[in-house]
Amino acid sequence: MAGKLGILAGGGEMPSRLVQACQEAGREVFVLAFEGQTDPSAVQGTEHAWSRLGAVGGALQSLRDAGVRELVMAGPIRRPSMRELRPDLRGLQFIAKAGMESQGDDGLLRAVISGLEEEGFRLLGIDDVLPGALAEEGQLGKHGPDRQAESDIARGLRVALALGSADVGQAVVVQGGIVLGVEAIEGTDRLLARCKDLRRAGPGGVLVKVKKPGQETRADLPTIGPRTLRNADSAGLRGIAVQAGATLVMDRDKLIPAADRAGLFVIGLRVEE
């Protein structure tokens, strides 16, 4: 049987989902929760420890004391300023090595993973713990894109891949060939909220989400779920297109029926980077 899994818990629902999956599989789990980042409900009834992001030495010791050898990174982490971080000595050493101030999000995550591996831990992807969580290629519900939506998807893919190459974001909203908004540090939900007010007359637009070209796939994969669908519907969009094999689909059993009822399409795309 696999050993105890350590979950480096960011925000959102994913840490709780991984805890539940481990419990159902009979695997021991330990959650390292971060102050101001992790939802406290993610650690209820679970072996855990709390840490500041900058307290790297203490965090590593907590993982070792828990007997953890394998780790998974789950949920978004709001990137702190150096003042908020207040790094300890081990944290300062990591920052000096990683060049935190000059790294984009993907570059920083690569540095974090490399640092953890140097400490003797093995990093897993979420799909290693949740098999079947990634979007497959093709139409996921009963609705599909029409010709205009397909054109918007193609435009969105080009823009999203360009954004990703610059390590900026993973998502873009396009309507009638016009880019209504691109994702940066605010995340997809706020992107959709902005685009609600930017909607133009005519058929609704599309949300396109892809991983960044060459992205480290063990952290920060694009994710959609029922909330994404609700926000897309509220923004007047007609559908969501994601990268097949590289996008996490949360609560698929709720997402797809909700999309069918709302008349929105959800589709997985093969993407050539």
> Domains, the chain, ranges and CATH?
5-129 (3.40.50.20), 138-269 (3.40.140.80)
User: What is the per-residue pLDDT for 101?
Assistant: 52
User: What is the per-residue pLDDT for 94?
Assistant: 76
Beta-sheet pairing, 122-124 with 138-139: unpaired
pLDDT digits (tens, 9 = 90+) for 86-144: 878 887 777 777 665 545 666 677 888 888 999 999 999 998 998 889 999 999 999 99
Structure tokens at 50: 């709390």
Q: Can you tell me the distance from the alpha carbon of 147 to that of 35, in angstroms, rounded to the nearest whole number?
A: 47
Portion of the chain with pLDDT greater than 70, in percent: 96
Structure tokens at 250: 């949360």
Q: Can you tell me the distance from the alpha carbon of 72 to that of 110, in angstroms, rounded to the nearest whole number?
A: 13
Residues 6+ apart with CB under 8 A from 206: 145, 149, 152, 153, 156, 173, 174, 175, 237, 238, 239, 240, 241
Structure tokens at 208: 């396109």
pTM for the predicted model, two decimal places: 0.86
- The label of the residue with tokens 């394998």 reads 70
Q: Can you tell me the distance from the alpha carbon of 193 to that of 212, in angstroms, rounded to the nearest whole number?
A: 22
User: DSSP secondary structure string, 36-102?
Assistant: TTS-GGGGTTS-EEEE-TT-HHHHHHHHHHTT--EEEEES--PPPPHHHH---HHHHHHHHHHTGGG
Q: Amino acid identity of 52?
A: R
User: What is the per-residue pLDDT for 266?
Assistant: 98
What is the SS3 assignment for 257? Answer: helix
Q: CB count, 10 Å around CB of 202?
A: 9
User: What is the per-residue pLDDT for 96?
Assistant: 74
Question: 48 with 32: CB under 8 angstroms?
Answer: yes
Which segments in the chain show pLDDT lower than 50?
102
User: What is the per-residue pLDDT for 105?
Assistant: 67
Question: 168 with 160: CB under 8 angstroms?
Answer: no
Question: 182 with 159: CB under 8 angstroms?
Answer: yes
